[in-house]
Amino acid sequence: MNESFAQLEVPASLIERARGGDLAAFEQIYRRFERPVYTLALRMLADAEAARDVLHDAMLKVFQRIDQYRNDAPFWAWLRQIAMNEALMRLRREHRTDVDSDSEQIVDGAAPPWVRADSLALERALGKLPALTRSVLWMYHVEGYSHPEIAELVGKTISFSKSQVARGTARLRDLLAPLAETEPCRITPSLAL
């Protein structure tokens, strides 16, 4: 995601107010993290309603435990971990643990298709990946988790994590390649005139 940990930090005074039961402080914390948490859940689940549920459950869990939070740990790291666990639990509960086992890694000299694909096309392609493959890809490439950490989170092996990153990447390449090939043929309004 775009925001760094530093941008997502919470002032100690705000945490203190929340500990004291100040509803406005809870709301400020919610507003600050609504988009990062929802985006994380949406990227993993590709389901707007389920992502909203994860946002709600993760926030509630954090608020219920705010008394136990120690200020020396980054707040976003804590909340992100809980949101990720919630999303993974949901995948397990809904048995959406299918993975990509078909795609092969293709290495050629051509520029990868995401170089030219726009964000909407990339989002759509991401949404077409199997749920667990997409989650692993997101955790690795965006959230910066290592393969051993991902393996522990999803309850699989390190090899599984590595293979899902490779296969997910290959699948994204397949999904975006036709778009990238046709893109140069598009006629812009200025050229059409």
Partner 1 sequence: MSNHTVPGTMKSPPEMKSLPEALRALPQVAPERSAWPQLAAQLAAQGIAGTAPTVLAPKPARRNWRWAVPAALAAGIVLVAVAWPLLQRPAPAVGALVATAAPVAASIQTNAANSTNTTSTQSATDARNADTQLASLQQHSQALERWLHETGRAAAPLSGQDLAAAAEIEDMIGLVDGQLNSAPQESELPLWQHRVALLEDLTALRYSSYKLAETGVALR
Long-range CB contacts for residues 4-7, cutoff 8 Å, separation at least 24 = 5/74, 5/76, 5/77
Interface stretch with partner 1, choices 46-54, 99-107, 156-164, 185-193 (CB under 8 A): 46-54
Other C-beta atoms closer than 10 Å to the C-beta of 156 total 17
Binding of residue 61 to partner 1 (CB under 8 A): yes
Q: At what angle do helices 131-141 and 147-154 cross, to 10 degrees?
A: 140
Interatomic CA distance for residues 11 and 35, integer angstroms? 18
Binding of residue 56 to partner 1 (CB under 8 A): yes
Binding of residue 128 to partner 1 (CB under 8 A): no
**Residues contacting residue 94 through CB under 8 Å, at least 6 positions apart:** none
Total residues contacting partner 1 by CB under 8 A comes to 65
Sign of the CA dihedral 115, 142, 59, 17?
Answer: negative
Binding of residue 63 to partner 1 (CB under 8 A): yes
CA dihedral 168, 169, 170, 172 (to 10 degrees): 80
CB 192, min distance to partner 1, A: 18
Site residues for partner 1, window 147-166 (CB under 8 A)? none
Site residues for partner 1, window 83-122 (CB under 8 A)? 85-86, 89, 93, 111-112, 114-120, 122
CB 39, min distance to partner 1, A: 5
Interatomic CA distance for residues 84 and 6, integer angstroms? 19
CB 60, min distance to partner 1, A: 6
Residues in touch with partner 1 (CB under 8 A): 1-3, 18, 21-23, 26-27, 30-31, 34-36, 38-39, 42-43, 48, 51-52, 55-56, 59-61, 63-75, 77-78, 81-82, 85-86, 89, 93, 111-112, 114-120, 122-123, 126, 137-138, 141-142, 169, 172
